Each structure stands twice: as structure tokens, then as C-alpha cells.
Structure 1
């Protein structure tokens, strides 16, 4: 079973509406990682102008950014997530996951916080009308088929 098939078979994809945290945000990515994009362009020396289109930003994250620890949006902090979840960091090292975001989409969304500004425990204690099982059925991730699994 491919990585995409494995993720799509998870309960996270049973809902019809993907959550905000599951979407790639090209505008945020372009702003947040401008220094990385400029540095890579200087090192490439291919003579072409820097492509900052939304599609180019998503392609950059899928092909390079995810494996370098860059976050896909403002709602998920890759570096923080890996610091808080050493088992996921180890899984990346062993080739089980290509990045923390894929782990979060696959199973981490059930019990782990995606960002230092968000606490799952605090959220559910302040919103008792939202049950964890209900939220698990409603949340889903984007099509991550283009993210390459590290081997």
C-alpha cells in the first residue's frame, strides 16, 4: 500500500470538509520562508527568475520544504511538533514518516497539539459541546500524494 493510500484509509479522511490546518498556505509560506527561497535561488545559479507563484510554493514544500522541516501553514509548526514528539522525530529518522505534518494528518491530530499556540486539552475543556470523536470524524487532510516518503 502506498503512503497516500495508507493515509487516505485513515479515519481522518472520513469527513467531507478539510480543516484549515490541513491546507497548504502559499501566501504564508512565501512570506515565512522568503529567506530560504532567496538563498536557494542564489545557490542554484540557473539564470531563471525566482518563481513565487502559489503552485511553485506548494511544489517547493512538497519536494524540498517538508523534508527540511518547513511548515506548510501557520497552524502547524513542524519544528515545535518534532521537539514535543520525539517519537515522531525518530520515526522520520527511521523513514516511517517524511515529516511531522504527515504524521499529524495521519494520526497525530487525534491527541497531539499542532502548534505551540494551541492546546488540544485546553480547547476541549473550554468547548465541551465539541467532542473529540465528533471532531475526528469532521477533520481531514489535503491530498498529500506528491510528498515523497523518505526511505
Structure 2
């Protein structure tokens, strides 16, 4: 599989990932990179790449790291709640797009378009997303609106 590709799709860097915080949390726990890799079921090379800034983790792998460190995702992905986009809410929940789409009963392509603010967010979908994400519908709508009204070229 080509670097930066997952299932034939290009992967964007994980917005808000704080590699310095990962290092701090790992060392505070007294874990070596190998320890963290074992507990999170990821490779030592992956932990090294994330800590050095050579790569950013996939959300499902980072969720395992957060669990191994016994911290919420917000400790590793630092975006103010008032600045979060819909995709950021998904990351905070530790879910991939396919996982959230399945839970919300929509296609992955539809979820991707919603996260980019490129399609309308209907109320029934907002409610299902909120349930799956463990947040209220107003938070889902606000995050969607931030993504929809972001400046041209701004990452999501």
C-alpha cells in the first residue's frame, strides 16, 4: 500500500494531533515507545514516526493509544470545542468515517461530504450523528456550520 494511502483513498493529516503531548503522556506513565506500542497494539515504528512528526496516526490507532495511556482523545488531539468541525467530533469519539457512517446509518461518502460542509445536514441525520458521537444535536450542527463556512482552502 502506498504511503499516505488507506483503502485507495488519500488520508489527510490528523488535525490537532499534539505529538509533544503524546511524548509527555508516554513518559509520565513511565512507558518506553515499545511499552506503548505493545499496550496499544501498534508498531514501535508507528509510535516513533508520530512522536518525531514524520507521520500522524489514524484515528482508530490513536484511540487505542489514548486507551493505553488512560486519557481521553482530547488530550492527544487538541482543538478547542468552539473550533471543532464535524470531523473533529468524530476524531474525539475515536471513530473512523466508516465506523461513524455505519452507526449513523449513512454512507461513508455522505459522511465525508458532511464533514467537508459540501452537502446539507438534515435534522434526522444530525440526530443520528449526535447519538453516535455522544454529543447533542446542537453541537453537531455548530460543528457542521463551522466546516461549511470555513475560509477557502482551510483544512478540515
Structure with larger RCO (C-alpha < 8 A, sep 6+): 1
Taking structure 1 as the reference length, the TM-score comes to 0.34
Taking structure 2 as the reference length, the TM-score comes to 0.33
